[in-house]
Structure 1
Amino acid sequence: MTVTPQTSGNGLSVTYEGAVYPAEEIARGAAYELSSAAEAPGFEWSRPGTTRPWRRFVHATEVSDVHPATEPVEEPEAPLLVPLHRERGWSYVQQLSQQPTAAGDPTLAAVRDSAVIRRGTRMVKVLSARQLAGYVRGWLPHGFCYREHDVAHLRTPAATTVLRTDGSDARDGADVTYALRWRAADPGDYDVPVGAAHRGLTALAPRDRIGAAVLGTGFVPSSGQLVPEFVTRDFADLPMPANATLLAYPADGVEVVLYSYQAEQRGWLRMAGPQWRHLLAAVPGLSPDQEYVPTGEAPRSTRLVGGYAGGDYEAVADLPGGFRVLAMTRAARYPVEWAARRLRLANWRGAPCLVLREETGWLRLRLRRPDPDAVAETGAQCQERGVYEAWAPAAEVTEDRVVDLPYRL
């Protein structure tokens, strides 16, 4: 007798560990949500009252035989490639990624090099409620982040613990986790935290850091995940691209789009309906009923600039379409002829820094290369994993300059 496997409401099913499960595609096929009518290893009871109350999130690399096969709607991201053979399986590579002494291992380097950011790659940064409030009020993407393709299967507060940068975890009792998702404007805006340039991060004592230790292998500290991590280059803020989104993931793993960034208005438009407003209750200083939240007109630490008809203008990354002049009227949103990220750099007490803002003779600085000596010399405080900031008298700062980092169009 032939048994026809069950499928989800969209007719999709996948094979996972030899069994066929109904599935829902996540992040354009980067991961799948599997459902089951009966208990199975690794599945969680999450949706009582349904015909398939057991579910599990798995990465696309863990499944086979997707039925029916679907054509990608856009260029897929480069998968993480792990060279395996009988003596060195996935577990070996995962364990190797957790050993700081293995940072130069050729096998580990080959795996890490396969995680590639291209223009338009969707990036993700997991946030606490406090961090979400900061981004709604004007913070820009910075610090540690990940390709959505690599973390799409981590969707619950407990699962995203390994991606948090604020030092808290699922044991804090949070029943929702938040995230910022945006498209990369240029691969040059990101760096891999390995090698001599980032060795100081691995040497920082626990008392001087927030969040998990930086291993120096380029992978997230985890007992069971193999997730490549990135940092914004020099830990700089990046200009917020058009249509970036702020997300919420409650305990059942559903993705809720809370806000969408409106570049011309410099603010966040609320997208969540009434049934999801309770997810914002824990966010300090934010009214769940506020339809639109402007970020304010405070000077920004970085800007995207572009050229059109011989003039320089503030620009916006509107990907995957490209770069255009930032203008309120549609007729003035010209495609730019060149684009660059403009930021302000300086040195203080021998440490290379980013200038974030200036107030009455004082500069707010962020260390570009955190290490024990720079932290001790400047008295910089850790704001989140890898991000160290301090106030400095403007008169003491040297080599204060504005630089443009061009993008290749």
Structure 2
Amino acid sequence: MTVTGEDSQLGADPLEPPLMAPLRRGLTWQAVQSMSQSAVHRDDPILRAIRETAAVRRGTRMTKLLSPAQVAGHLAGWLPYGFCYRSCDIAHLSEPEQLALLRTDGGVDGRVAFALRWRAIDPADYELPAGPAQPGLGALPAHSRIGAMVLGTGFTPSTDDLVPEYVTAGFADLPMPANAQLVAHVPGGEEVVLYTYQPEQHGWLRLAGPRWRGLLGELPGVSPDREYVPCTAAGTAKLIGQIDGKEYEAVADPPGEFRVRALTRAARYPVRTLSRRAEQALWRGVPCWVLQRDETWARLRLLRPEAEALHATGARCYERGVYEAWAPADELADHHIAEIAYQL
């Protein structure tokens, strides 16, 4: 049989199409879940077809589970990057100990699970942590990784659940959309929205009331009493839009609003084109994002982590799938601004 929107409320939102499987007597849910956990089935056409039903569309809600230190990083200006999930695929996981298993830093401790939630600007920003986009992830040795191993089937390691996983395309930083949220999941299944992102001010507005000040106190370097937290770090990726041939920094509020970034509401005109820009370069033949640089050194992140790239660059794993290195700036080749155009 096939699970459809008529059988479940999961199919009610067209922006979040449900994961669907052609279940039958010879292909039970338990069999599909078992296939998703075995590297032997990476190229199984049935498993691939099931995985492809979990589509990301413009406006799909995405979630990345965070440690307290990562929450503080996003409050300072970090952008979405790395491993993430469609929010609808993990909606049944509400207790902190369940969600903590999806953290990218390898930690599972804590009575609270923190997360960043945002809406996808474009499906092109996401790919499977498997071949052909990321063929080397599943072959990386245990001593060079943090967090759960990458199975290469497109599903996260789990003994009970069938959860599709994604990475940002090439492990890129993605511009933070308007109204992104930093949330906490507390024992009992309650979700608390702590902050919401205000793109024009490039900062976070606190929404959590006095009852939840204790949660905010767990975040390193964050004052629980501060109502507005401006980002101190400049984003490594920017949205650029055009109006009548002129370029402007843009703001995305998916699924339907893409506008000029402006402090006054009257100046927030809708843009006619939209693209994402970020720095790229080659170092020792390995393609990398340039996250930070000065005249001497550059901080790089590998687009496609694999054993040969790690050996060539000496890149370290900072969280699941994310490998970065420092390189002499004068050794970079093909240093350029990459532009990823979106279809509006």
**Common fold, TM-score beyond 0.5?**
yes
Answering whether residue 231 of structure 2 is matched by residue 292 of structure 1, we say no
Correspondence for 1:268 among 204, 216, 222: 204
Correspondence for 2:126 among 183, 186, 190: 190
Tell me the TM-score normalized by structure 1: 0.81
The separation in 2 between residues aligned to 1:327 and 1:284, in whole angstroms, is 31
The separation in 1 between residues aligned to 2:6 and 2:303, in whole angstroms, is 43
Which secondary structure does the structure 2 equivalent of 1:133 belong to? helix
Pairwise CA distance, 1:128: 0.8
Correspondence for 1:340 among 275, 280, 298: 275
Map 1:66-215 onto structure 2 (within 5 A): 75-169=14-108, 172=109, 174-215=110-151
| Contact 2:15/2:57 (<8 A) preserved | no
Q: Which residue number in structure 2 is paired with residue 54 of structure 1?
A: none
Map 1:57-68 onto structure 2 (within 5 A): none
**Could you say what the CA RMSD is over the residues aligned between the two structures, in angstroms?**
1.9
| Contact 2:252/2:258 (<8 A) preserved | yes
Using CA pairs under 8 Å that are at least 6 residues apart, name the structure with larger relative contact order, 1 or 2.
Answer: 2
The separation in 2 between residues aligned to 1:197 and 1:343, in whole angstroms, is 19
355-364 or 127-136, which moves further after superposition?
Answer: 355-364
Pairwise CA distance, 1:265: 0.3
| Contact 1:300/1:357 (<8 A) preserved | no
* TM-superposition CA deviations, 1:81-102 (whole Å, max 9, x none): 1111112200000000000110
Answering whether residue 254 of structure 2 is matched by residue 319 of structure 1, we say yes
Larger radius of gyration: 1
Correspondence for 1:361 among 277, 296, 305: 296
Alignment CA distance shift 1:358-1:79 (3 Å): same
Which secondary structure does the structure 1 equivalent of 2:177 belong to? coil
Tell me the TM-score normalized by structure 2: 0.96
Amino acid at match of 2:315: A
The separation in 2 between residues aligned to 1:196 and 1:372, in whole angstroms, is 16
Q: Which residue number in structure 1 is paired with residue 158 of structure 2?
A: 222
389-398 or 151-160, which moves further after superposition?
Answer: 151-160
Which secondary structure does the structure 1 equivalent of 2:70 belong to? helix
Query: Is there any run of 5+ residues in structure 1 with no aligned partner, and where?
Result: 1-60
Query: Is there any run of 5+ residues in structure 2 with no aligned partner, and where?
Result: none
Q: Which residue number in structure 2 is paired with residue 373 of structure 1?
A: 308
Q: Percent of aligned positions with the same letter in both sequences?
A: 55
